[in-house]
Structures are given as C-alpha cells and as structure tokens.
Amino acid sequence: MPLQFAVGAGRMAGMSDTPHLDPELGQASPGIERPSALALQATLVDFALAELVRQQRQSFQPLWSRESWAKLLIWLALNCGCGTDTTSLEAFAAAIGPSQMARLRRQFFERQLEDLNLMILADPAEQQVLVWPLGPAIGADGAADLAFDRVAAALERVGLSQQLVAEQGRWQSLEALVSVPWS
C-alpha cells in the first residue's frame, strides 16, 4: 500500500520540502518528488529520538539541570551499545551531530502547557527561562496569556519555581515572551 501521509522532519536527510501526497492516488503531487528511503529513515529516527526524549526526560534527576541532560545522553549511549569511557561517549555525541544534539536538548528542556497556552524553555545553560504563548491568544486579550500570574502558575506546575528568581519585578516582559532569570 502506498504511503498516505508525509512526515515533516525529513529536512535532516536533505529533503527540501515534505511532499504533499495525493490521497486518491497515494503518490506525490505532480512536480514533487517522493522522498527517498534514506530521507524517510532519517525522518523516522528524528521522530523516534524526539519521542524518546519527551518520554524519558522526567526520569533523570535533578530535573532542569545539566546533570539530568548528561544522564539522558549517557543512558542513550549505553542503550546504543557504547562503552562508558570518555572516548566512546564523545564518539556517540559526534555521531548524533551538533544540529540533532541541539534539537534534542531543546526538546529535553522544553514543556508545552496547552491548557495555559504556554511554552516554557528552561535550559540551564542559558541565563533565563523563556515563556511564550503556544499559539494565538486565548480570549480577547493576548496580554493575558503572558500575565505574570499565569507564567508563575506554569513555572510552578513544571517544578521550576524554586530554581528561579521569585521576585516578579526582575522578570522581563518582552514583546512576545516573558524572561525569568535563574536564581
């Protein structure tokens, strides 16, 4: 049976655009090439890694730390058959590559709170935690999505409030996001 859907992360393997498949014909629209097997495999690996990171990120304590990120990478390396020596772990990181590693790190330190319409990016390598709306404003007032009380509730829910500056006077409300410094 022909592939009836398109997976969007194939750019990793050199796909310029995800083809739009014609649902009646089960093939790419005229003028758009089908993705190669290698591109589809790369997309699948990208998707699987992202899902694995999202499912396992709560397992590595302390949350929201460089240590938890390192533990995840070591866990991944060991489950891929790498040794525990520095050379093996460095080879594993090099095999993932800087682009994929950056994407995985972002997914590890990112949380989406759909009910609050907020996204949190709390990478401890950065000087502040960023909070911004997931999409269009809920209700008539878009500023309400980034109200400090909503941001504080989101930070509390994900377990970050104790690690951040509590004094809201030091938080910055920028055009489309709120910046909260680490303590």
Query: Could you read off the pLDDT of 84-125 as tens digits, one per residue?
Result: 999 999 999 999 999 999 999 999 999 999 999 999 999 999
Closest to 6 measured CA to CA, from 54, 31, 27:
27
Beta bridge partners of 22: 27
Output the pTM of the full model. Answer: 0.76
| Per-residue model confidence (pLDDT) at position 176 | 85
Which residue numbers in the chain have pLDDT < 50?
1-20, 22
Tokens of 105: 């790190």
| Per-residue model confidence (pLDDT) at position 27 | 58
